[in-house]
Amino acid sequence: MFENKVWWITGASSGIGAALAEALAKRKAKLVLSGRNVEALEDVAGRCGPHLILPFEATDFAAVPEIAERAWRWAAQQGGAIHGLVNNAGITQRSLAVETVFDVYLRIVGVDLLAPIALTQALLPRMVKAGGGQLVAISSVAGIVGAPLRSAYSAAKHGLIGYHDSVRAETAHSGIKVLVVAPGSVRTNVSKNALDARAEVRGVSDRAIDNGLDPALAAERILEALVAGKRELILADGPEAEIVRLRRSDPDALFDRMAALMAAGYAQQMGAQGKAE
């Protein structure tokens, strides 16, 4: 599944993407590393084995077919095809829907939903023709639960799950496997890079993220799920895992809990937390 197989990771310059690159490299995979920060990608690549750095703007949809062609050609030069695609790149938000400008929705849905769809659509026919492969979608607990202050992010990550679930159903008989991962808090720059209500970078992190799961451990759990043939991985523990369980078993209880959280001043606490940091 990993040794001498080509895996393409988007958002590979940091966080879960970088950790997955290193974990796959330890298993002797060959890597295509994508993102916007070339210097950071080169730093990650320096810790990995055979690789192709393939930077591109995720929402430059017109360029995606040519980007996919370059990646596929490189895989062929390595003696095979692209075995795995990890749709990992994304951005989030921290803002109330009632205060949020529409550009936030355009940007987040573009990066978190339309970009992975565009890339998968460009690659999927080739993977099917090659006899199969593995898709990995990095969604979020917020892709299962409508999380406060994350309306655009939740919308995009819900859509990411729906798209990949459909692709799984349509292509399983063609050898395509799909794993959807729903992380909770992982120790990355995701909240620091979040957009605020005016579509500006927030610039501060959340305590929950700062105290979250180590990305290296997250990567190991994802690879374990792949080996086990899982189709969904809830990469969360404690209260975050509990709200996923509630969303599926007792949604009314979850809706009441979320509303109570907001009534108790969650938005104000998040704002104060940012100011303190």
The Cα 35–Cα 31 span in angstroms is 13
Q: How confident is the model at residue 276 (pLDDT cuts 50, 70, 90)?
A: very low
Q: In this predicted model, what pLDDT tens digit does every residue of 188-242 receive, in sequence order?
A: 878 788 899 999 998 887 787 887 899 999 999 999 999 999 999 999 999 999 9
pLDDT at 210: 80
- Taking residues 155-179, report their average pLDDT: 98
105 is catalytic: no
Q: In this predicted model, what pLDDT tens digit does every residue of 131-141 receive, in sequence order?
A: 999 999 999 99
| Residues 117/132, Cβ–Cβ less than 8 Å | no
Among candidate residues 105, 153, 163, 266, the one labeled active-site is 153
How does 135-149 read in b/e, with b if 16+ C-beta sit within 10 Å?
Answer: bbbbbbbbbbbebbb
Burial of 23 (0-12, 13-18, 19+ CB in 10 A): buried
Q: How confident is the model at residue 83 (pLDDT cuts 50, 70, 90)?
A: very high
- Residues 6 or more apart whose Cβ sits within 8 Å of residue 154: 140, 142, 143, 145, 146, 147
pTM for this one? 0.94
The Cα 178–Cα 225 span in angstroms is 11
